[in-house]
Amino acid sequence: MDLTYLVSALEPESWPKPKLPEIAVAGRSNVGKSTFLNLLAGKKLAKVSSIPGKTQRMQFFQAENCVIVDLPGYGYAKAPAALQAEWSEKVHAYLEERIVLKKLILLLDIRRIPTTDDLQFVEWASRNPSKELLLVWTKTDLLSKTECERQEKKILEALLPYHVTEIPLSVPAPRRVVWKRVW
């Protein structure tokens, strides 16, 4: 996918003018959002770090027929609490107010059971059906196939109240990404 960097912004007045549908990539800090974008682009486009909280602004990227937005992560981050509160406030405003936002991609680390923050995000999305939610397992390359299947079952059990249904998507090795569609 051909992606071009547009802008890094937190404030609504700095977001690109809404022209195309937008897809937001969300998840806890250090789940692999920037790595996922680089995988989509087929090149290093977003900065990747092992330090949670590296993405501190919304990163807007232009694709052929949409805009993809890399959101700051939620949960633990190596950043001051006041700064994290600001990210949270601006991301919430983006999710609630951005009319062109049509899809949400929530990345979940397959090694972890969804956190309260993850479940709150899924629950919020379930109350906003105009924004389709796709779930993506990340870090599947760190577990065996059997361990991935076991973890996937646990995650799906945690997400049962949200009516998760599966949509398989093949991704070239070495990364195995599993997509899930909610409702």
Q: Under a CB-based contact definition with an 8 Å cutoff, are residues 25 and 105 in contact?
A: yes
Mean predicted lDDT score pLDDT of the chain: 81
Is domain 4-182 given the CATH code 3.40.50.300 in the classification? yes
Specify the pairing of strand 67-70 against strand 58-62: antiparallel
Is the pTM higher than 0.85?
no
Cis peptide before 72, with omega less than 30 degrees from 0?
A: no
Q: Under a CB-based contact definition with an 8 Å cutoff, are residues 61 and 70 in contact?
A: yes
Mean pLDDT of 136-161: 88
Q: Collect all residues with Cβ–Cβ distance below 8 Å to 175 and sequence separation of at least 6.
A: 39, 140, 141
Q: Which tokens go with 178? A: 């599993």
pLDDT attached to residue 24: 95
pLDDT attached to residue 55: 61
Q: Residue ranges of the domains in the chain? A: 4-182
Give, for 2, the enclosing helix (H) or strand (E).
Answer: none
